[in-house]
Amino acid sequence: MEYIAYLHKDKNSDFGVSFPDFPGCITAGSSLEEARGRSAEALAFHVAGMREDGETIPKPSTLDDLHGDPAMKGAVAFLTELREPERTVRINITARQSQIAEIDRRARAKGLTRSSYIVQSALQKKIALR
């Protein structure tokens, strides 16, 4: 599901993002891309809090719905996808002790956990299927 976000820039400030369907949900970035990139995370975090509080998640507004919204003045509207958190699944793998030690060393060097490192490494590799 995608929600409209407003990108604002005031003089002497970072780029700000707000969501007309979610009052109080805001984020910012020092560049356009940084602000846009943070919008999905801010939206997901806000919606998760609403769910915990038992609040109803609104259906996305359309640009026609927001026509005349004073908050849109001077803003650029763009769509932000609401990414629902996925369930984490525990798996068991088998590897030699020296391989695990090397994985741990590489994970620490990148500031990752063993699990994060293995998943990211596996998804980056393109393995030809036979």
Cα(55)–Cα(127) distance, integer angstroms: 44
Maximum Cα interatomic distance, the chain, rounded to a whole number of Å: 64
- Residue 60 in contact with residue 2, Cβ under 8 Å? yes
Tell me the per-residue pLDDT of 1-28, one tens digit each, with 9 for 90 and over: 999 999 998 888 899 999 999 999 999 9
**Predicted pLDDT of residue 126:** 58
Instruction: Tell me what the pLDDT averaged over the chain comes to.
Output: 89
**Predicted pLDDT of residue 106:** 94
CB contact set of 57 (below 8 Å; sequence gap of 6+): 47, 50, 51
The crossing angle, in degrees rounded to 10, of helices 97-109 and 114-124 is 90
pTM flag (> 0.85): no
Tell me the per-residue pLDDT of 106-125, one tens digit each, with 9 for 90 and over: 999 988 889 888 988 888 86
